[in-house]
Amino acid sequence: MDELADYTDHQFETKLQIEIEQLTKNKQAQESPKAYLLGGQPGAGKSGLHQLIKAEDPNAITIDNDTFKWLHPKYKQLEQKYGKDVVKYVTPFSNQMTESLIDYLSDKKFDLIIEGTLRTVEVPMATVTKLQNRGYEASLYVMAVPRIESYLGTLARYEDQFSLSPRTARATTKEAHDVVARQLPDNLDFLYKQRLFKEIRLYDRKGNKLYSSLENLNESPKKIITEILNRKLDNNTLLNSIDSVINKMEINHHTTTPQYLDLVEKTTELKKEISGRVQEQLKEFAEKNPEVNPKEDPENKNDRPSY
């Protein structure tokens, strides 16, 4: 690891105290604190969960590892040197910041929102156990989104980041996305069976609650999350979503990337399918309504020009 990524205890403590002051401003510690752990594959739209929880509990403090990376004392120098690979060099700092904030804020009994993916079960289990030992009531909120939708979300997010900061925009690989999506049902089922959380909820991107372990006492969320992950979008919805990403790619001049070429090919396939389906529907209509001849519409006879 580059020595440029090193930082002193004093530098870290200074940043930590500043962050504590900012996060706790206008927030109140609680006698019966609550913690909300978040989960979902990359691109699923977990920011929507933040909004839902804030509406229920405006006093909750969000702890998101990604937001602490730029706090590294030498972030600008590392960014200039490594560009988008800067994340590798500042992650140890952001990990320490995350752990220190959880430790301090939970000791003071502030309500917490803790970002995650559920790529593994070890991290959420360790976190919830620690919080429960400090008197917390913990819930798990998971974003349930079809994997094709969340994958397109990762592409759109990268293009948005690139338009703002080309040097530091960092793409989520399809492999990284798929690993979480593949492991999510089993990990969620495991956590459900451990009965560590007061409640487990699943939400869609529109904020609709799809599942609650309190309302489905003997039903694991595994079946529901699996069905949603594997759900196919209708062709028109999928085409619109892909077109949106393609437009972002074209604006950023990313028209030679494998992702762009794959999406263009998929768009062509979808348009053929949609066109074919329209022709089938017209044929079915004509067979069911033989008296209607689109080539000889009586209503339009008078509109024809005479020669």
pLDDT tens readout for residues 187-217? 999 999 999 999 999 999 999 999 999 999 8
Rounded distance between C-alpha atoms, residue 83 and residue 72, angstroms = 15
Check whether residue 39 and residue 80 sit in a common domain: yes
What is the pLDDT, as a whole number, of residue 294? 53
Decide if pLDDT at 220 tops 90: yes
pLDDT at 256 over 90: yes
Region 280-297 average pLDDT? 68
Domain assignment present for 301? no
8 A C-beta contact, residue 61 and residue 110: yes
Are residues 194 and 48 located together in one domain of the fold?
Answer: yes
State whether 144 and 221 are in the same domain.
yes
Q: Looking at the structure, tell me whether residues 139 and 48 fall in a common domain.
A: yes
Percent of the chain with pLDDT over 70: 95
DSSP code of residue 304: S
* Gap between the Cα atoms of 42 and 138, Å rounded: 22
Q: Are residues 227 and 245 in the same domain?
A: no
Give the tens place of pLDDT for each residue, 12-36.
999 999 999 999 999 999 999 999 9
| Separation between Cα atoms, residue 105 and residue 100, nearest integer Å | 8
Domain that holds residue 243: 233-287
pLDDT in tens, 31-58: 999 999 999 999 999 999 999 999 999 9
Region 86-100: mean pLDDT is 95
197 and 56 in one domain? yes
pLDDT exceeds 60 at position 295: no
Tell me the average pLDDT of the chain.
92
Q: What is the mean pLDDT of residues 62-79?
A: 94
Q: Which of 294, 284, 280, 249 is nearest to 267 (CA)?
A: 249
User: Which pLDDT score is estimated for 306?
Assistant: 43
Query: Are 279 and 210 within one domain?
Result: no
Q: Do 101 and 243 fall within a single domain? A: no
Which pLDDT band, with edges at 50, 70 and 90, does 85 fall under? confident
**In this structure, what is the dihedral angle of CA atoms 171, 174, 175, 179, given to the nearest 10 degrees?**
100
Any domain includes 300: no
The tens digit of pLDDT for each residue in 75-84 reads 999 999 998 8
Q: Is residue 90 part of a domain?
A: yes
β-sheet bridge partners, residue 142: 39, 202
Assess if residue 47 is contained within a domain.
yes
Residue 277: the pLDDT is 76
Domain boundary among 208, 232, 256: 232
β-sheet with 61-63: strand ranges across: 61-63, 112-114, 34-39, 137-143, 199-203, 209-212
Contact 260, 232 (CB under 8 A): no
Instruction: Count Cα atoms within 13 angstroms, Cβ side, for 259.
Output: 23
Q: Could you give the number of structural domains in the chain?
A: 2
Query: Is residue 296 included in any domain, yes or no?
Result: no
3-class secondary structure, 296: coil
Mean pLDDT of 257-278: 92
pLDDT at 148: 97
pLDDT-based confidence at 282, cuts 50/70/90? confident
Please give the pLDDT value at position 305.
47
Least confident of 14-18, 85-89, 261-265: 85-89
CA distance 55 to 170: 30
Residues 278, 162 share a domain: no
Residue among 157, 24, 1, 165 at smallest CA distance from 74: 1
222-246 confidence digits (pLDDT tens) = 999 999 999 999 999 999 999 999 9
User: What pLDDT, on a 0 to 100 scale, did the predictor assign at position 304?
Assistant: 46
Under a CB-based contact definition with an 8 Å cutoff, are residues 35 and 130 in contact?
Answer: no
In this prediction, residues 239-264 reach a mean pLDDT of 97
Inside any domain, residue 294: no
Do residues 107 and 239 both lie within one domain? no
**Listed residue (183, 188, 186) closest to 201, CA to CA:** 188
What token pair was written down for 208?
């609709």
- Asked whether the predicted pLDDT for residue 301 surpasses 70, the reply is no
Q: What's the pLDDT at 233?
A: 94
Helices (H), the chain: 9-24, 47-56, 75-82, 86-107, 122-133, 147-164, 174-194, 222-229, 235-251, 258-288
pLDDT for residue 293 is more than 60: no
